[in-house]
Each structure stands twice: as C-alpha cells, then as structure tokens.
A = this chain, B = another copy of it.
C-alpha cells in the first residue's frame, strides 16, 4: 500500500524577501520521512490573504495532510488562522479553552492578556488545539490541516504533538554510495538499475569540491531487501 502523503505551507514575507532562511520545511521533511509519510510538496507564500486561502484549499484537497508554518502570533500580519477558517468556510472566534491557556500563562508572567494577545485564542469552529509547550499559544488542527507557529522551536514542539496522532506508513529506507566519477559516466548503468528496480527511487546528486568530483547515489524505498539488493548491484557496477 502507498504511504500517506503530506504537504507543507510556509507563510511569511520574511522567507520570500530573503531576510530569513526557512528551516521548518527541512525539519518536517526529516520527521515525516522517519514515520513513513511522503512529503510531496512544499510551498511558501507571502502574508497575503488570497494567496494563503488558495494554497490551503489546493493543498488540503491534494494531499493526506497539510502542515502550515507561521502567521499565528498576536500582530496585525498574523492572518493564518482566519485564512484557514475561510478556506474551510468555517466561522472563527475566541475559544474558551484557548483563552484559558493564555490567561493562566499571562497571569503567571504578570503580563496583560490584552486584545492583541487574545487574537491567539481565535480558533475555527470544530478545530482541535495543538499543544505549545514552548510559549503556550496553541496551534490547531482542522480537517486535514495542522496550523502551527513559524518560530522554529515552537514549530518543532508542535510537530512532536501532532505526529503521534497521524497514521504513518512504512518508513522510507535509504542507502547511499559516493562514487568519484562524473555523472555522465555513471548515468547509463544507473538508468538500467532504475529500470530493474521500478519500486525504488534512485537519485544522483553530483558534487564538486577542491577538484574532486563525482556523485552521491541515493537508493530509497520501503522494502529493505530491495534496497539492499539494488545497493549490492550498484557497488558491483562501480567496484
């Protein structure tokens, strides 16, 4: 059976302007690979209502689950929650359990739970909260979309809360071999190998470093015996 599929939607002008380099995509990719969920697409859009709504609709229709990153804080540019609600045509309002979490947190720290902070308690109807052990303000899951913070420490903690609730598949196994020959030399045999093992994904990633060049060949698949067999063949080819 094919593994479950997923996509990530990163929301934020700061990535697209080059001010910040995203790390959540890479983190999620590794975590999903570990539990056997195939991350099939990643998108980055800016803090723009229409762009966010369109992307949420299209990704949630196309993939088993969608993870969003960013835009759920207290400031005016945090519009992800309302956009996700609109994508699912669902009302959104301040929810008691989310407000209680924030109230307890700010009571502890002595800060005021003002109007801006209350924005972080707005949750679409029917959503489930995602725990935030770092800074309390929760994420939420609605249908197949998991809405999470952009700050990497919070994003990663939320991923840890969500992953156990998902059905994984067989983990993607991979083995790699470094071959110090030009890609053009190994491409022919490699293509034959790929034909012989149609269920495996065989990738070639060239490198060039201080005059040494070649490619890392990565063989990936869900069947360990097949990956082993293909790797044995590959090693023999270029022994």
Any B CB within 8 A of the CB of A43 = yes
Near B by CB (< 8 A), chain A positions 13-43 give: 13-23, 25-33, 38-43
Total chain A interface residues with beta-carbon distance under 8 A: 72
Q: Is the CB of A41 within 8 A of B47?
A: no
The answer to the question of A103 belonging to the interface, with a C-beta cut-off of 8 Å to chain B, is no
Smallest CB gap from A194: residue in B:
B76
Whether B73 pairs with A204 at a CB distance below 8 angstroms is: yes
The answer for the CA separation of A185 and B18 in the assembled complex, in Å, is 27
Pair B42/A208 contact, Cβ less than 8 Å? no
Q: Does A187 contact B (CB under 8 A)?
A: yes
Q: Which single residue of chain B is at the shortest CB-CB distance from A217? A: B75
Looking at the assembled complex, report how far the CB atom of A49 sits from the nearest CB atom of chain B, in whole angstroms: 13
Closest to A73 in B: B183
A40 and B33 contact, CB distance less than 8 A = no
Asked if A41 and B33 sit within 8 Å, CB to CB, the answer is no
A contact residues vs B (CB 8 Å cutoff): 12-23, 25-33, 38-48, 51, 73-77, 106, 111-112, 114-117, 119-120, 135, 151, 153, 172, 174, 182-188, 190-191, 194, 201-206, 208, 215, 218, 220
User: Copy number in this complex?
Assistant: 2
A-B pairs with beta carbons under 8 Å apart, 5 shown: A16-B29, A75-B186, A116-B187, A117-B184, A117-B187
> Within 8 Å CB of A187, what residues of B?
73-76, 116-117, 119
With A44-B41, A75-B187, A204-B73 known as contacts, the answer to whether A21 contacts B26 (CB < 8 A) is yes
Distance between Cα atoms of A148 and B39 in the complex (Å) = 23
Minimum distance in angstroms from A210 CB to a CB of chain B: 13
In the assembled complex, the Cα of A75 lies from the Cα of B153 at a distance in Å of: 38
Known interface pairs A18-B30, A19-B218, A187-B76; A45-B51 also in contact (CB < 8 Å)? no
Least CB separation from A40: chain B residue = B46
- Which of B25, B33, B116, B215 is within 8 Å of A191, CB to CB? B116
